[in-house]
Amino acid sequence: MRTPAAASRLTSPRLLAPLWLLLVAAGAALLVVGLVPVGPDELPRAGAVVVSTAYAWALAARVGGRPVVFGTVALVAGVLAVVLDLTWLRTGAAVATCVVAAVLGVMATVPAVRFRQAARECLVAVVVAGVGALATLGYAPALTLARFEYVTLGLALAATVAVVQRLGAGLHGLGRRGVVAVVGGTLLLAVTLLYAELLRRYGTPSVVDNLLDGVVWVRDTLGAFPRPIETVVGVPALAWGCHMRARRRQGWWVCAFGAAATASTAAALVNPGVTLLESGLSVLYGLVVGLVVGYLLIRVDLAVTGTRGRRSRAAEQGLAVRPEPRRTEPLL
């Protein structure tokens, strides 16, 4: 008879984390093979099922849910979408995979005492979402691009906020700085989306042409244009939030807006009018520019709290010891 200690060892993060990484790597390899393309068409779809199942398992485990239940549901849904090959099933599986990847990208981060650690966490989140983008494409969804992006962004933000409400001690735990950050992030996100939609629907030809000329010049010069919502909102919020989480749990509320970056990344490959190389470069450029903005936000935050000068910053970093579970352990 298996003892509780033996069962605990079999389900320990130290054992499961390497196995999970191997599973995700195998799924990603199948997805890349499908992009080349090499082999039968079933390979990328099998890879999509593997990655979406592993991601659902990891997200449930990270937020203190039931990974076996949610992993099984994701596996069954993915297999049905691939075997039955119904358009609405494949599209639904792609949406779910995109959302899960976006939320997992945010939840996979850990607190960052220094900016370089915050930059590392942003890279981790983008890589997690990037593999999710491959899985999303692997389901071969039939979609309207703008609708797909809005739906996945909205669902990812809603799911992230639902988890963050528990991690950040609810709305009453925001504090004055948290309220300012959340309200500011919400307004910035709303303005960015509203401006893009108004420009797309009602923009005058001269204004649209001028903006498009600038975008075309950047694309011709650098090979891609940074994804705006990732650059302006998502990455800066994630960098600042991870930095704040090392000091105050209100940083989770700022990190919630990082879903704007991970959702944008997870949906980066579904646009058939953009090459894979350009999609990857746009995510990379958005990450780099967003980190610059995030660095400025962190410096302003430190200046407001009174930690000016090298000695003050060193002392402040020494006190930034708020504990959180490790990356492979449940947050709740």
Q: What is the pLDDT of residues 71-122, one digit of tens each?
A: 999 999 999 999 998 999 999 999 999 999 999 999 999 999 899 999 999 9
Q: What is the mean pLDDT of residues 49-69?
A: 94
Q: Which of 257, 246, 268, 267 is nearest to 323 (CA)?
A: 246
Compute how many other C-beta atoms are within 10 angstroms of the C-beta atom of residue 142. Answer: 11
Residue 130's pLDDT is 96
Rounded CA-CA distance 90/137 in Å is 10
Confidence class of residue 31 from pLDDT cuts 50, 70 and 90? very high
pLDDT > 50? residue 8:
no
The DSSP H or E segment spanning 225 is: none
* C-beta of residue 237 within 8 angstroms of C-beta of residue 258: yes
Question: pLDDT digit string (tens) for 122-132?
Answer: 999 999 999 99
Please name the residues in contact with 144: beta carbons below 8 A apart, sequence gap of 6 or more. Answer: none
Query: 3-state DSSP call for residue 177?
Result: helix
pLDDT value of position 10: 44
144 sits in the region (left: phi over 0; alpha: psi -120 to 50; else beta) called beta
Of 177, 148, 157, nearest in space to 257 by CA: 157
| Residue of 320 and 229 predicted with greater confidence | 229
Tokens matching residue 309: 């000068």
Instruction: Give percent of the chain above pLDDT 90.
Output: 48
The rounded Cα 261 to chain-centroid distance in angstroms is 6
pLDDT band at 6 (very low <50, low <70, confident <90, very high): very low
Kindly report the number of other CB atoms within 10 A of residue 122's CB atom.
Answer: 29
Q: pLDDT by residue (tens digit) across 227-239?
A: 888 888 899 999 9
**Mean pLDDT in residue range 123-152:** 93
Q: Looking at the chain, how many residues does it have?
A: 332
Q: Is the pLDDT of residue 291 over 50?
A: yes
Give 302's contacts (C-beta < 8 A, 6+ positions apart). Answer: 308, 313, 316
Shortest CA distance to 93 belongs to which of 60, 41, 144, 140? 140
Calpha distance 271→137 (Å, rounded) = 9
Residue 240 pLDDT grade (very low, low, confident, very high; cuts 50, 70, 90): very high
Is the pTM of the predicted complex or chain greater than 0.85? yes
Q: Which position has the token pair 């609810």? A: 170
Residue 165 pLDDT exceeds 50 = yes
pLDDT surpasses 70 at 34: yes
Of 197, 226, 202, 204, the residue nearest 214 (C-alpha)? 226
Q: What is the pLDDT of residue 203?
A: 46
Alpha-carbon span 171 to 86, nearest angstrom: 42
Average pLDDT value for the chain? 83
Please state the rounded mean pLDDT for residues 158-176.
77
- In the chain, the N- to C-terminal Cα span, in Å, equals 30
What are the structure tokens assigned to 211, written together? 């903006």
* Of the candidate ranges 135-149, 225-239, 315-329, the one whose mean pLDDT is the lowest: 315-329
pLDDT of residue 133: 96
CA distance 107 to 164: 9
Q: How far apart are CA 73 and CA 60, in angstroms?
A: 12
pLDDT tens digits, 169-220: 666 666 666 677 677 777 777 777 665 655 555 444 555 555 666 667 777 7
Taking the C-alpha atoms of residue 137 and residue 140, their distance in angstroms, rounded to an integer, is 5
- What letter would DSSP give residue 279? H
**pLDDT higher for 5 or 276?**
276
From CA 266, how far away is CA 280, in angstroms rounded? 11
Using alpha carbons, list the distances in angstroms from residue 313 to 75, 112, 118, 251: 48, 14, 16, 18
pLDDT for the residue numbered 251: 86
Residue 230's identity, in one-letter code, is E
What's the farthest any 2 CA atoms get from each other in the chain? 76
Does residue 156 or residue 203 have the better pLDDT? 156
